[in-house]
Amino acid sequence: MDTSAVQSWEKFELKKTIGIWSAVALLAGTMVGSGIFVSPSGLLQGVNGNVGISLVLWASCGLLALLAALCYAELGTRISESGADFAYHGITYGKPMGFIYAWTSIIIVRSTGSAAMAITFGIYLAKPFYPGDCVPPDIVVKFAGTILLLLLTLINCWSVKASTKFQNFFTAAKFFAMIIIIIGGLVQLGKGNPIGKANFDQAFDTESMTTITFTQIGLAFYQGLFSYDGWNNLNYVTEEVKESHKTLPRAILIAVPLVTGFYVLMNVAYLSVLTPNEMITSPAVAISFGDRVLGSFSWIIPVTVCLSTAGSLNGSYLSGGRMPFVTARAGQWPSIFEMVHVEYYTPTPSILLNSAITLIFMIPSDFDTMLYAFSFTAWTFYGLSAAAVIVLRFTRKDLPMPYKVPIVIPIIVTLSALYLVIAPIVDSPNWIYLYAVIFIISGLIPYFALIHKGYKIPGIDTVTMYGQLIFNAAPTDWEDIF
């Protein structure tokens, strides 16, 4: 045989460019958003301002996030597909469940979350130009947020390495700012600040503790978990992680406890100079802290909020931009979105779709209600993924298991998720929850028509053909394990 005639063939697929520290930066940088700087007081308000209980719950929220993330570590090492819950639900419960998750995530959950972060960025970027009680005009805020979205879209379409480098920078910047706040708070405690001394001397005030109900604790827990969201983002880019079977669990075990420790210490710092009531009523807790402690350096806080928000949004783009890609690759979304740029190895059409939907959600003046309504669905999917850990051990013994969590962990996470889904509905019944459920279930309509029956959207082949030419993209080599 003439071996010189044999040409080498390289698989066309996403490149593994994310190492351990970039993985940690992606997780930690996405988890730490603007919430811990702007409004970490929802949990404190939920426990009637009791300082001790609030700090315990902050630590407990971090523990639950860690347990849930460890479930995802097992899933991500057994199922080495990007897309996280889409792949896990599809393999465990069937393709319709995977599609429902993708339908909800792509159209609503990811987009409203990204739009909220972009708006927050715009507010804090514009605020220095409108001092005092002046409120930045809506158009200025949205313009600033739009510029950020377009910039991050360009970076993520251009290079995964560039995106991860930006993520590393943003993560380092926000942790540096948190260190400044923590040190400032500890110094105030060391000096014997009377507010801080009173707060911690009466941390477990029995009068406020006796009025806290079990439902209140559950809802406060729910509030705290919002600030930890993002602990599963590495699972969306599993195929781009170097030695994912090792890196995924290691990054989780570093990032989630790190963020938990910083969150607890940040709240200690705030409470060193602010009363619980001041924290609850402050429109931006970190700025109130900065005005009292940092003096002429208080400008660091709004800059930090901008960097923190940009970092979270970049992490969301890096992970969420893979969702239409993996869904299309599995034959459950228009095929143009399974294309990857042949030079940059980025899912360009998929990222652009996410950007387009996010920009649409930035048009309304108020989408907080919609964002809140669909937030409770997150723990529905988290609970299903935790349960998938148990189910797959019996149904897919053929899958490798390089990392295994004790069976009690997915049981705890599943039961916790069940409670977190039911508690807000029971405590505050609202029609908006019904609308959210209807939208989720409505995903079965396009699934039945386009996937089960195989109907084609008119002109979709033409769109795919011209899309490939415009984006210089091609489908990747992929082995379907569904």
Cα torsion angle, 53, 56, 62, 67, sign: negative
d(CA 311, CA 26): 9
Residue 476 pLDDT: 81
* pTM for this prediction: 0.89
Contact 421, 376 (CB under 8 A): yes
Closest CA to 256 of 227, 285, 220, 218: 227
Cα torsion angle, 211, 216, 218, 222, sign: negative
d(CA 325, CA 347): 6
d(CA 338, CA 471): 12
Q: Which residues contact 128 (CB under 8 A, 6 or more apart)?
A: 299, 302
Residue 447 pLDDT: 94
d(CA 311, CA 163): 10
Residue 367 pLDDT: 56
d(CA 457, CA 416): 41
Closest CA to 112 of 421, 373, 438, 429: 373
The SS3 call for residue 475 is: strand
d(CA 109, CA 319): 13
**The pair of three-digit structure tokens given for residue 19, joined into one six-digit string:** 């190492």
d(CA 78, CA 396): 10
Residue 87 pLDDT: 92
Q: Could you give the dihedral angle defined by the CA atoms of residues 42, 48, 54 and 57, in that order, rounded to the nearest 10 degrees?
A: -80
CA distances from 473 to 228, 229, 326, 338 (A): 35, 32, 15, 9
- The DSSP output letter for 18 is B
d(CA 420, CA 170): 31
Instruction: Considering only CA atoms, give the Rg of the chain.
Output: 23
Contact 114, 354 (CB under 8 A): yes
pLDDT digits (tens, 9 = 90+) for 36-51: 887 788 888 888 888 9
Domains and CATH numbers, the chain: 11-475 (1.20.1740.10)
Closest CA to 57 of 191, 167, 222: 222
For the residues of 128-174, what is the DSSP string, one character each? GGS-TTPPPPHHHHHHHHHHHHHHHHHHHHH-HHHHHHHHHHHHHHH
pLDDT digits (tens, 9 = 90+) for 277-289: 998 888 778 888 8
Q: How many CA atoms lie within 13 A of 15 on its CB side?
A: 11
Low-confidence spans in the chain with pLDDT less than 70: 1-10, 132-133, 208, 365-375, 478-482
Residue 6 pLDDT: 36
d(CA 458, CA 414): 42
d(CA 466, CA 398): 40
Residue tagged 């597909």 (tokens): 81
Q: How far is CA 276 from the centre of its chain?
A: 28
**The pair of three-digit structure tokens given for residue 312, joined into one six-digit string:** 């979270």
Number of C-beta neighbours around residue 179 at 10 A? 13
